[in-house]
Amino acid sequence: MGKWSSIGALMNKIENNQMLSEAKRLLDQDRWDRLRQSYRQLFWFQITPVFVFVIAIILVFFFCPTTAADLTQIKAAIILFGTAFFVLVFFPVWLILSQFVVGRLWHRYAKWYRQGGSLVELDRIMADSERKNKGGTSL
CA end-to-end span of the chain: 31
Question: Domain residues of the chain, as ranges?
Answer: 3-134
User: What rounded mean pLDDT belongs to the chain?
Assistant: 87
- Give the model's pLDDT for residue 132: 77
Reported pTM: 0.78
- Give the model's pLDDT for residue 5: 75
